[in-house]
Amino acid sequence: MTSRAAAFRAFNRMWTARIGVLDAHLHDTPYSLTEARVIFELAQRPSTEVSTLRAQLELDAGYLSRILTRFKRDGLVTVESSDADGRRQIAKLSKSGHRAYQTLDSRSQKEVEALLATLSDADQQRLLGALRDIDRALNKPAPGIVVLRAPRPGDLGWIVERHGALYAREYGWNDEFEALVARIVGEFVAKRDPKREAAWIAEVEGERVGCIMCVKKNESTAQLRLLLVEPTARGLGIGRKLVDECIQFARDQRFKKMVLWTNDVLTSARRIYEAAGFTLIDSGKHRSFGHDLVEQTWQMSLTSHSAQ
């Protein structure tokens, strides 16, 4: 953990120096980073209660008071007592304050655009994807807002892309695995029995974070396929929620049992399968996706609820 913290701190030092937030004056203006943040927050609405501004920015009351005093002296803000409650102070940007905000905003935009311009389009996409991952990891949503829905246009391509990218990153699997997932998805589209086969996308606050499929292996057997949960959404119970939905659907369609194929390196998924009531019925060594692996076949009965 110490080495991870050191790596995180090293990135922070590099990035804050790169974008100039350590400079005494941000974006060649008279304002420090904290002062610029105050201006930015005040620009987001016609007026802001000072206590609300302090809470949003997590600033010491005395520090914020000194900043607002300077801004009043420079004609950037007005601070007046609330008409509803004289004890409450209301801050507003003046016309000069809005001009200061526009200068800060436009210069920040230009500096970021200049930074992105040094990267290829592919590198820009990777950078933005990594930023989204960081945001989701550090602002993990509550599990109560997980939504499972049927795939919409673009979702099946996403399933293939995410499987290929994540398994390459986490296990070093080559493009044979992505090709396998593409074949599974293609067969699902071409041969799907809409009454007895289904797929689900898991969403958190509108972002796709997981998927699963239930397909017909034969008239009495359903097969669970393509369970995936994004790393930033793990720990929220989404994998179990997807598996439970898949099992219940198979029961509702009168399948007698459900099977799944996996590999022993996928330990997190295996724990979910065991908790749901699957038992290991077969395993064997094989060479796939550029690695020596141990494949596993798991099965559960759907004719009673005792397995769960």
Residue 161 shares a structural domain with residue 268: yes
Number of domains in the chain: 2
Residue 13 shares a structural domain with residue 86: yes
User: Two tokens at 234?
Assistant: 């793990």
By CB atoms closer than 10 A (0-12, 13-18, 19+), residue 290 is middle
Integer Cα distance of 136 and 209 in angstroms: 10
Integer Cα distance of 45 and 90 in angstroms: 12
Residue 307 is predicted with a pLDDT of 40
CATH number at residue 14: 1.10.10.10
Q: Could you tell me the residue range of the domain that residue 43 belongs to?
A: 2-118
Query: pLDDT for 37-96, tens place per residue?
Result: 899 889 988 888 888 888 888 888 899 999 999 999 999 999 998 877 778 889 999 999
Query: pLDDT for 247-298, tens place per residue?
Result: 999 999 999 999 999 999 999 999 999 999 999 999 999 999 999 999 999 9
Query: pLDDT for 156-177, tens place per residue?
Result: 999 999 999 999 999 999 999 9
Integer Cα distance of 130 and 44 in angstroms: 27
Query: pLDDT for 114-156, tens place per residue?
Result: 888 998 988 888 887 788 778 767 766 555 578 999 999 999 9
CATH number at residue 270: 3.40.630.30
CB neighbour list of residue 103: distance below 8 Å, 6 or more residues apart = 27, 29
104 domain residue, yes or no:
yes
Residue 85 is predicted with a pLDDT of 76
307 domain residue, yes or no:
no
User: Two tokens at 302?
Assistant: 């759907």
Query: pLDDT for 2-27, tens place per residue?
Result: 777 887 888 777 777 776 655 555 56
Residue 16 shares a structural domain with residue 163: no
178 domain residue, yes or no:
yes
Residue 149 shares a structural domain with residue 90: no
91 domain residue, yes or no:
yes
